[in-house]
Every structure is written in structure tokens, then in C-alpha cells.
Chains A and B, each alone.
Chain A
Amino acid sequence: MAQPGLDKRTQTKVEDQSSLKGTLASVFLLGFFLIITWVGVFLLFVNRF
């Protein structure tokens, strides 16, 4: 169970952000993966007749 003292996510805005930096990094990695795969197939489309 979450320890109330450590779960400061909803308390103040500053701590709110610092505690989810791993999440932000993770979703951006996901986003870059989406972009790389999409661009890859788009280039296939452009290079083929």
C-alpha cells in the first residue's frame, strides 16, 4: 500500500511534477517509437512505385 507520507503527487505542484518524471520519459520513448516506425513505412511508400 502507498505510504501517505511519500505519496505527495497531489499535494503541491512542484513535487507533483518531479515524481512523474519517469512517466514523462517513458511516454516520450513510446512517442519516438511511434514516429520512427511511421516514418520508416512512409519512406517505403515514397520509394516504391
Chain B
Amino acid sequence: MHIHKFEKIWLIFGVATLLVFLSVIGVSAFYLGNQPPSCLATINPEKVDTTAPFDKPGLNKVEGKEWDYELVFVASAFNYTPGEVEVPLGAKVKVIATTKDVVHGFNAAGTNINMMLEPGYISELVTTFDKAGEFLIVCNEYCGAGHHLMSSMIKVVE
């Protein structure tokens, strides 16, 4: 099979570029801890309200962990609990969420807080809220007739 010299140059350049992309995201994910949310923990979706930490939705201060707060959300058609929450600027927070019924999305617009909530699974993500402002949480996975009305609000305050 004859391959033109220019095509070889192009393919070497292209493959090298892809390798650089993969290395950058690989280092970011595996060494800097920026993995996509993959918690793997399960829960009985019918007993969410009585299972810790979902029996206390909202911002909870924690001690002796790598993060200062746990921000707990419970999703169900078509709302989030809490419907609004304040987070101190600069706080390192573990966001923990799950759903009581169907699949929902959980995206704080304009941030990297973006995860699927699936019945039976807990979704988690650790981040530092280093920008003040109001961040709208929207459900970005179709969940039924009221899907576009499902939202919450994170206010990052000084």
C-alpha cells in the first residue's frame, strides 16, 4: 500500500496532536485529580430521604476531610432540594447528589459542576468555589413535562 510522503507527514502530525491532547487530559485527570464524576457508590432510590447524607440536604460543614463542606442535593421530578443555597467564597466543597425517581441532570451553568444523576447511584464532585456570583443549576437531562422548570441556585458569597 503506497502512502504519499505528505500524507505520512500529516498523519504523524495528527497522531502526535492527539497524543498531546490525551496526555494533557490524562495528567489532569489522574495526577491532578480532575476525573469526570465517577463515584460508583449506590443507594436505594426509594429510601433517599432517610439515607445519610441525603437526610440533610444543603451545605454541611465537615471536619477532618480533604474538603470543608459537603453540599448535598436531592433531585426528583421536577425540583432540587435545596432550591437555593449560599456557599462561602473559596470554600472547598464536595457536591453530592442523587435522584429519587428518573434520570436527571445536574449542571451549575458556567462551571464544571456537571453530572448525571441516575436512580440508585450517588454522584459526587469536589471543587473549590473560587468565583463569587449566582450560578443557576439546571436539569440538563430530559425527565418529563416539567423538565425545563427544574432548577436550583448556588450563591457564592464573600
Contacts and interface: CB of A to CB of B under 8 A. Distances in A.
Contacts of B113: 49
Interface of A: 13, 16-17, 20-21, 23-24, 27-28, 31, 34-35, 38, 42, 45, 48-49
B128 interface: yes
Interface in B1-57: 4-6, 9-10, 13-14, 17, 21, 24-25
Interface residues of B, number: 20
Contact of A24 (B6, B21, B127): B6
Given A31-B13, A45-B112, A49-B112, 20 more contacts: A13-B5, A16-B4, A16-B5, A20-B4, A21-B6, A23-B6, A24-B6, A27-B10, A27-B14, A28-B10, A28-B13, A31-B14, A31-B17, A34-B17, A35-B17, A42-B24, A48-B112, A49-B111, A49-B127, A49-B129
Contacts of A20: 4, 6
A42 B29 CA distance: 13
Query: Nearest 4 CB-CB pairs, A to B?
Result: A24-B6, A27-B10, A49-B127, A48-B112
Interface of B: 4-6, 9-10, 13-14, 17, 21, 24-25, 110-113, 127-131
Nearest to A10: B2
Query: Which among A27, A38, A49 has the highest number of chain B CB atoms within 10 Å?
Result: A49
Contacts of A49: 111-113, 127-131
B115 to A, nearest CB: 14
A49 to B, nearest CB: 5
